[in-house]
Chain A
Amino acid sequence: MSTQLGILLAVFLFPGGLFALVLGLSLKGLDRRVAARLQGRIGPPLAQPFFDLVKLSFKRTMVPATASQPVFLGAPLAGVVSMLVAVALVPVSGLYSPDPMLGNLIVLLYLLMVPAIVLMIAGSASTSPYGALGFSREMTLMLAYEAPIVLAVLAVALRTGMGQGGVITFSLVDIIAYQRSHGMFLLDPVMWPALAAFALFFPANLGIIPFDIPEAETEVLEGPLLEYSGPALGLFKVMSALKAVVVLSLGIALFMPLPFDGIWGLIGWLVQLAVLMEIGVTIVRLSMGRMRIDQAFSFFVKWPLLLAVASVVTVTVVA
């Protein structure tokens, strides 16, 4: 009984649900504010994503006459639910470890794919030609970045498993415990190729500028999101805020968990999230232009895949 209650609390209150939503929206607000300051502007208030969400809840949701209504309105809900569970699956060092019943790293990798699939479904359900274009671009991009990320995570799992005397472990709790006793993988040269592959996966999964090809507003008018308005669009904003928290804290758990407990663990984790958001999102998206989909595809099958394969090989050879 208490396990189920614990899982519900983790999904809806902390670290999932309400906490992750506020955290994700604050990170987005920080990103917009810092981006404006780097460009020499004043920029929106930090709470701007909250204002946007309140505004969207007041607007009317329009469903296109040719769209399939249940799929069109169900897609954003599926995305939000998958991300709520995914947040509860990522442990925070010294603060929170998910119930083993909820799932492990493999479930998390599957859940991380859901937002891309939801965007594809939404784009095709809207019956807009721009939605269809967004669909095909999203699918191409997903096929390109999925292999390197699985291999990079596999490298971490292999290193931890071999370090513990076994073969491989898919428990994020074990990965964090191993790093807390043996030092972060961030400082371990053997893991640097995997870290680089993960860093390249990160903007593609979050859909920010070098890789925001499926939702490019100047080319395909925000693609799958073109036909969405009001609360349904708000759900997509919630989904992407939660996804930012999931991917960032997954990166922290895999490569740089802090050796602190309790309140210092929480503060350290929040600082890490904010710094990663600035380095990984704001600076990257301000300093680059958008790639074409064929450029992004050939980029991903070249460098991140090479790095990820190299990391798996070095981990196996070294250990």
Chain B
Amino acid sequence: MNMIPDFKSIATKSPWIYRINAGSCNGCDVEMATTALIPRYDIERLGCQYCGSPRHADIVLISGPLTTKVMDAAMVVFNEIPDPKVTVAVGVCPISGGIFRESYSVKAPIDQYFPVDVNVPGCPPRPQAIIEGVAKAIEIWRERM
């Protein structure tokens, strides 16, 4: 029997979440807020916690099609997050641009600029889908520790 506790798998029980809004219409942001805050979809039971500072974060949720205006700021904030980190793209906008596709001011798909690990498609995605995305991100994060 292994007497030394497996600290790395203990560590993955505490994923802290940070949201980057890369030009989203706020639909996905509202869904993300409800996943954590309203009683029905309690993400805190996975040990998750929303944090105000990117320096505290482990899992990044990016929503929006990455507009040209917000791109540099989003890059700066993303690089402030200490490694190891996992990126989850929420909504259909990060994948293709969604309803904003082929616009002159949109840089989607965002995986040209950010190392996206998990995609959660939907416009907006259901809370259950976002929770599943976060659960998948935790598994990826465990491998990176």
Contacts and interface: CB of A to CB of B under 8 A. Distances in A.
A and B are interacting partners: yes
Interface residues of A, number: 32
Contacts of A58: 7-8, 11, 145
Contacts of B80: 62
Given A44-B44, A60-B82, A222 B58 contact: no
A222 B44 contact: no
Contacts, number: 87
A51 to B, nearest CB: 4
Contacts of B51: 217, 222
A19 B2 CA distance: 25
Interface in A170-215: none
Interface in A43-97: 43-45, 48, 50-52, 54-55, 57-62
B82 A59 contact: yes
Range of interface residues on B (Cβ < 8 Å): 20 to 34
A149 interface: no
A227 B55 CA distance: 6
Interface stretch (A34-42, A109-117, A158-166): A34-42
A153 interface: no
A51 B14 contact: yes
A125 B90 CA distance: 35
B104 to A, nearest CB: 33
A52 B52 CA distance: 16
A20 interface: no
A221 B52 contact: yes
Given A48-B47, A55-B12, A58-B8, A36 B53 contact: no
B82 A62 contact: yes
* A interface secondary structure, majority: loop
B10 interface: yes
B7 A54 contact: yes
B44 A36 contact: yes
Contacts of B47: 44-45, 48, 51-52
A229 B82 CA distance: 8
Contacts of A50: 10
Interface in B29-58: 39, 42, 44-45, 47, 49-53, 55-56, 58
A241 to B, nearest CB: 15
A218 interface: yes
B132 interface: no
A60 B51 CA distance: 17
A233 B44 CA distance: 20
A59 B12 CA distance: 11
Contacts of B10: 50-51, 54-55
24 contacts: A36-B42, A36-B44, A39-B39, A40-B39, A41-B39, A41-B44, A50-B10, A51-B10, A52-B14, A52-B47, A52-B49, A54-B10, A55-B13, A55-B15, A59-B84, A60-B82, A61-B82, A62-B82, A217-B53, A218-B52, A222-B52, A222-B56, A228-B55, A229-B82
Interface of A: 32, 36, 39-45, 48, 50-52, 54-55, 57-62, 217-218, 221-222, 225-230, 233
